[in-house]
Structure 1
Amino acid sequence: MTFLALLTKELRLRLRRERTIWVIIIYILLMGLLGWFYISHFGGYNGYNNNNGLSETGVNLYYLLSMVQLFLIMYITPAFTATAVNGEKERQTFDMLLCSRLSSFSLISGKLIAGLVNAILLIAASAPLFSLVFFFGGITPAQILAALLVYVVTTIVVGTASLFCSTLLSRPAVSTAVSYMAVVLWVVLPLLISFILLASSGFISAFLLAAAGSQPMPTNSQTSLLFVWNPVTALISTYPGAGGLATYTIGKIRIAPWLAYTVLSLLITGILIILSTWTVKPNPMGRLRSHTRKDPEPKEATATA
């Protein structure tokens, strides 16, 4: 079996499933109903008799849809790749893949691409819903393109991490649970660390005093680097006015948070692919010891020479 044969087989199996069609239908219905509910119940309070009211409605609708789509992507993507390798082992078909002409990289990349196609298909199917925001105004096409880049990069990172869990753990249920736990920690852990650091430095109490008018509003840049690899922060930085987030400065170069997130995510994705390529074959620790161990040259061979 070659890489193209594996990729073609995986795509046919995944895209022909009835579950795939229902996932797309439910996904689009959920996003569409959410947008309709917001426009019908909350849009009227902003007023449609002037351009400012329309623009504010469009911006708020975009905030809601973009954030909901980000969390849906992070929730759905592990289901496509978290059982890609150990699922083959459970069906007792993994040995046939090992005996074929597939290399480790071809096996991992074929499984990864086939799993990511379903998630990226959801992003593409929801693009017409985001185009409705242009009728209200307030959002530029460049901001939506930046948000789409964040979606694609987040999908690749979550899919690659879930595939790595599939190669590392033998049971599909365990790898799926670990993948979802890793996604939750990825989003929540920087927020918890930031809260602990701010509480220990007295920033929260100073903020409450400033809110009461007792002292000027404090500023804090200690925890900004904690969110450099956070998908929620990256998405917020694509909003109008960069969501109130400052850019990261490296020397004299200023990098937007979503761009720094993209570069760091691609680097981590490469590392995860290398680790998955190494652990997909049997006995990875034994092969690692055999590569790192230097066998001494036999004394008899030296004497003969």
Structure 2
Amino acid sequence: MNLWRAVALLNARSFEAARQTLEALPPDAPPPTGLIAFYWHYARQARLLVAGLFVAGFAVALLDTTIPVFIGRVVGLIANQPPSSLLGQAWPELLGMALVLLIARPAAILLQNLFTHQAIAAGLSNLVRWQSHWHVVRQSWSFFQNDFAGRVANRVMQTGPALRESVVAGTNAVLYILVYGGSAILLMSSNDVRLALPAMLWFAAYGLLLWRFVPRLRRGSREMSEVRSALTGRVVDSYTNILTVKLFARPQDEDQFVRSSVDGARKAERERAIRRAARDRGRRQLPQLAETLDIGLPVPHDSRFAGRERRE
């Protein structure tokens, strides 16, 4: 019981330390206009957390590649040793596999989630929000007269989560694909180069898809942001100017004013869902392909073809 309390206390203190890592201080300069420079302006303020997330993501991807390796090794051990002596001779190796799968891998996943959901999710998002508001509120009076207040507020509120999500996804997903896919190619080519051809072809096809669809996704994301900002702006401004709306506006005109933005947002959301489904379907194929081709292959050369000696 005391052990569980100690573990719970350690987790609570770790989460609290992660939450307090970033402090949203007033910025010393406005963010630059270039995309990469804009990202770096905010990411450098959390560079230690991003570096920690990179290390944790690398460890998770590397440990995940051991799963098909261990499966292949276990198949080789079962095929080449009698059941009566299997545990007696191979227990150190089996124990090492168990420690990796039951302790090292969960610990790496916990560390990755700690960085992602406790430190970066709230810290980086609100850091960007606060600094964006700090700059926007110091703009001239004409700046606010030329746009919807709700639209401006939506940009301030959504920039932080969008930047944080892309940083986390770029660090976790891209790194995972590179490490997992690269390891799969090395493991399969160590047995036979031809076995690595499907994964190589997958990488080539995936790169072609990125080259083809990333510009479209970028344009679609920009359009979705515009539609969502316009909808939020119209709704918020209708409530902000409710006295004018009640006194002078016709209900059908106000309804149509907001309804047109709702219809546009619905259409944009539907198109975005279709693109996301196509993207996720392709992204899930690499781990499945690697696990299918790796089972029984990444084992020592004397037993790489499990069961051959027994059949002969």
Range of TM-score over shorter length: 0.3 to 0.5
TM-score by length of 1: 0.39
TM-score by length of 2: 0.38
Of structures 1 and 2, the larger Rg is shown by 2
Higher relative contact order (CA 8 A, sep 6+): 2
Which structure dedicates a bigger proportion of its chain to helix?
A: 2
